[in-house]
């Protein structure tokens, strides 16, 4: 059974790429085309979830947490989602939109470190 980039999610992925937040756009400009040494895809679907960014070679997902992620129901949804991804051996790292906007270098260093660590394991 196919679990990656299911056709059923194609239009939603396309729509999300067109409506990127400023933080998503800023990070995408820094990680696209293997600028980090790793190939990332944006709005990549795994099972029923669409990840903000994903690097299949090391199974690393990057997720953004906007203000609504503080909501109790959203936190529970994020927890369940992360558990499913972890069960598929996908590591999830999360950044707030604010952190990406104000401290992109820290974010990029964290991504590179996580990816390098996963490459070695």
| SS3 of the chain: helix, strand, coil, percent, to 5 | 55, 20, 20
φ/ψ bin of 119: left (φ > 0), alpha (ψ from -120 to 50), beta (otherwise): alpha
Picking from 46, 76, 69, the residue whose alpha carbon sits closest to that of residue 54 is 46
Per-residue pLDDT of the chain (121 residues; tens, 9 = 90+): 779 999 999 999 999 999 999 999 999 999 999 999 999 999 999 999 999 999 999 999 999 987 655 678 888 999 999 999 999 999 999 999 999 999 999 999 999 999 999 999 8
Tell me the C-alpha distance between 12 and 43, whole Å: 9
β-bridge mates for residue 62, sequence order: 53, 93
Given a contact cutoff of 8 angstroms between Cβ atoms, the answer to whether 93 and 110 are in contact is yes
pTM for the complete prediction?
0.91
């Amino acid at each position: 059974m196919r679990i990656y980039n299911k056709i059923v999610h194609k239009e939603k992925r396309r729509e999300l790429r067109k409506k990127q937040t400023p933080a998503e756009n800023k990070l995408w400009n820094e990680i696209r085309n293997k600028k980090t040494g790793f190939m990332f895809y944006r709005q990549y679907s795994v099972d029923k979830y669409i990840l903000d960014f994903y690097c299949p070679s090391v199974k690393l997902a990057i997720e953004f947490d906007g203000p609504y992620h503080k909501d109790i129901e959203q936190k529970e949804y994020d927890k369940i989602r992360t558990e499913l991804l972890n069960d598929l051996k996908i590591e999830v790292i999360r950044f707030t939109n604010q952190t990406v906007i104000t401290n992109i270098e820290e974010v990029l260093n964290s991504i590179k470190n996580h990816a390098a660590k996963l490459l070695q394991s």
